[in-house]
């Protein structure tokens, strides 16, 4: 009996040890640290790939999360320790296994509140260099080692600039951007999804950046998920509002300006989704990627990687709008959809029906109407009769519901 009990005890200890080893192998995220040079050694990249393979040699999805400005290593470690399990759980609930890579780049600040604006502008070119080098190094290595895994990026704030620089290295951020050394400039990174949460990218970066939109077979990302502050109401990102005063509007708080070709390519391929739900007023990284938003993003990413999976309602609604017959009474109700993406896609379709294309989206005319709704909604009624846009002139858009929200119910009368 003594020897039997001892053997059972040893067996339990071995099993407990195995469980502990298994738990320790499942880290919250795979870390990669990048200093202010914005570059990584080959060995550092190899270590990241090895850690991903150790966690799962055949992952369904790899998610690379990228933090923003004023974040040191300790802070990003705390953030990713929370976000890593949160992402994994969301993908698990969607039926797939994901490995999370936490891209930690040194965007820390040393000065106090009075000097932070200067450090902010100094960090912008560093973000672009980091994207064009270190993040590209990591993404290309993961893409090569795990060709069957769906590769996803989740950026926040200035991390969206890092992400854009990595995937579209030729993007011209401004006239001073000299496009420094680019890691494997001729090699494409192909993403399943790119989420730009609280994006610090200029709202007109796509228009002025000199990048041609690619068609579905050659584009570098199946879906770009963009959060955006609400046009009307109180749910606005206050940090991005302050950013607008010192640098201009960011795409996280203003509808992005694009060329007609870019709008048409993205919309007809259902390659962009605008999201203004639960925008955190304090710009919090953890709140932008809360459980509720990830419960929407993860199923979309899973479906895009494997269309045999259930199509989320948000994407199905966009497909319905794109494929709707060319009759206004089917599209008109979509202009008041509770989802921003559906509203924008319906407006794009109406613009093609009424005005023959996306001209009024691309030239900023519709954006000017949005700004009027924010500041002087009562003026819209008077501008309708002479509007150059037939959709606005006919009273289809802005809709009655939108006008009432803006505080000018009499302006909704056609």
d(CA 157, CA 153): 13
Q: Per-residue pLDDT averaged across 169-189, rounded?
A: 86
Please, which pLDDT band fits residue 112 given cuts at 50, 70 and 90? low
- Asked if residue 173 has pLDDT above 70, the reply is yes
Q: What proportion of the chain, given as a percentage, has pLDDT over 90? A: 72
User: Which segment of 41-55, 143-157, 372-386 scores lowest on mean pLDDT?
Assistant: 372-386
| Residue 168 DSSP symbol | S
- Asked if residue 410 has pLDDT above 60, the reply is no
- Asked if residue 2 has pLDDT above 70, the reply is no
CATH hierarchy code of domain 26-310 = 3.40.50
Q: Per-residue pLDDT averaged across 265-285, rounded?
A: 96
First-to-last C-alpha distance (Å) of the chain: 92
**pLDDT the model gives residue 47:** 98
- Strand, coil or helix: 255: coil
- Asked if residue 303 has pLDDT above 90, the reply is yes
Entry pTM: 0.90
**pLDDT the model gives residue 24:** 39
* Per-residue H/E/C for 93-148: HCCCCEEEEEEEECCCCCCCHHHHHHHHHHHHHHHHHHHHHHHHHHHHHHHHHCCC
**pLDDT the model gives residue 407:** 67
Tens digits of residue pLDDT in 32-59? 999 999 999 999 999 999 999 999 999 9
Report which secondary-structure segment, H or E, holds 194. Answer: strand 191-197
- Asked if residue 262 has pLDDT above 70, the reply is yes
Question: Is residue 354 within 8 Å of 395, Cβ to Cβ?
Answer: no
Question: Is residue 197 within 8 Å of 155, Cβ to Cβ?
Answer: yes
- Asked if residue 3 has pLDDT above 50, the reply is no
Average pLDDT, the chain: 89
Ranges of each domain in the chain: 26-310, 313-409
**pLDDT the model gives residue 152:** 98
**Which residue from 184, 190, 264 is spatially nearest to 223, judged by alpha carbons?**
190
Please, which pLDDT band fits residue 300 given cuts at 50, 70 and 90? very high
Q: Per-residue pLDDT averaged across 261-285, rounded?
A: 96
- Asked if residue 226 has pLDDT above 60, the reply is yes
Tens digits of residue pLDDT in 58-97? 999 999 999 999 999 999 999 999 999 999 999 999 999 9
Report which secondary-structure segment, H or E, holds 153. Answer: strand 150-156
Contacts of 397 by beta carbon, 8 Å cutoff, 6+ apart:
335, 347, 350, 391
d(CA 132, CA 170): 9
Strands across the sheet with 150-156, in order?
Answer: 30-34, 98-105, 61-66, 150-156, 191-197, 221-227, 272-275
- CA trace torsion 258, 263, 267, 272 (10° rounding): -20
- Asked if residue 30 has pLDDT above 90, the reply is yes
User: Which segment of 152-161, 180-189, 287-296 scores lowest on mean pLDDT?
Assistant: 180-189
Helix, strand, coil share (%) of the chain residues, nearest 5: 50, 10, 35
Tens digits of residue pLDDT in 314-371? 999 999 999 998 777 789 999 999 999 999 999 999 999 999 999 999 998 998 888 7
- Asked if residue 98 has pLDDT above 60, the reply is yes
- Asked if residue 212 has pLDDT above 50, the reply is yes
Q: 340-355 and 313-323 are packed helices; what angle lies between their axes, rounded to 10 degrees?
A: 10
Q: Per-residue pLDDT averaged across 390-409, rounded?
A: 81
Task: Please give the angle made by the CA atoms of 108, 83 and 76, to the nearest 5 degrees.
Answer: 15
Q: Per-residue pLDDT averaged across 397-413, rounded?
A: 69
Contacts of 83 by beta carbon, 8 Å cutoff, 6+ apart:
29, 65, 100, 102, 285, 286, 289
- Whole-number Cα distances in Å, 330 to 125, 268, 343, 354: 46, 17, 13, 14
């Amino acid at each position: 009996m003594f020897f039997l009990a001892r053997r059972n005890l040893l067996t339990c200890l071995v099993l407990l040890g195995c469980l502990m080893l298994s738990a320790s192998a499942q880290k919250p995220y795979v870390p990669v640290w990048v200093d202010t040079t914005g570059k990584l050694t080959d060995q550092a990249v190899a270590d990241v790939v090895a850690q991903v393979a150790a966690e799962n040699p055949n992952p369904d999805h790899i998610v690379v999360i990228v933090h923003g400005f004023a974040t040191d290593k300790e802070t990003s470690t705390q953030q990713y320790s929370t976000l890593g399990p949160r992402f994994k759980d969301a993908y698990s609930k969607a039926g797939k296994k994901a490995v999370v890579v936490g891209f930690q780049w040194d965007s820390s600040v040393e000065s106090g509140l009075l000097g932070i604006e200067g450090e902010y502008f100094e960090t912008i070119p560093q973000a672009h260099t980091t994207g064009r080098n270190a993040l590209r190094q990591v993404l290309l290595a993961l893409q090569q080692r795990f060709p069957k895994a769906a590769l996803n990026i989740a950026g926040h704030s200035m991390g969206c600039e890092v992400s854009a620089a990595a995937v579209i290295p030729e993007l011209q951020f401004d006239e001073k951007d000299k496009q420094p050394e680019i890691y494997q400039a001729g090699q494409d990174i192909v993403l399943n999804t790119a989420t730009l949460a609280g994006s610090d990218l200029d709202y007109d970066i796509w228009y002025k950046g000199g990048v041609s939109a690619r068609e579905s077979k050659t584009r570098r990302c199946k879906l770009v998920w963009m959060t955006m502050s609400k046009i009307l109401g109180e749910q606005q990102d206050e940090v991005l509002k302050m950013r607008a005063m010192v640098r201009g509007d960011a795409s996280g708080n203003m509808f992005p300006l694009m060329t007609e070709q870019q709008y048409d390519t993205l919309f007809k391929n259902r390659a962009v989704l605008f999201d203004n739900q639960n925008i955190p007023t304090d710009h919090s990284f953890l709140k932008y990627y809360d459980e509720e938003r990830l419960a929407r993003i993860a199923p979309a990413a899973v479906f895009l990687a494997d269309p045999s999976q259930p199509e989320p309602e948000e994407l199905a609604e966009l497909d319905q709008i794109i494929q709707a017959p060319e009759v206004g009474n089917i599209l008109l109700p979509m202009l008041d959809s509770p989802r921003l993406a559906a509203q924008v896609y319906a407006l794009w379709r109406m613009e093609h029906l009424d005005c023959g294309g996306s001209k009024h989206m691309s030239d900023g005319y519709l954006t000017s109407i949005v700004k009027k709704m924010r500041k002087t909604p009562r003026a819209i009624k008077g501008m309708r009769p002479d509007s150059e846009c037939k959709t606005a002139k006919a009273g289809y858009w802005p809709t009655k519901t939108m006008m009432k929200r803006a505080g000018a119910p009499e302006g909704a009368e056609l």
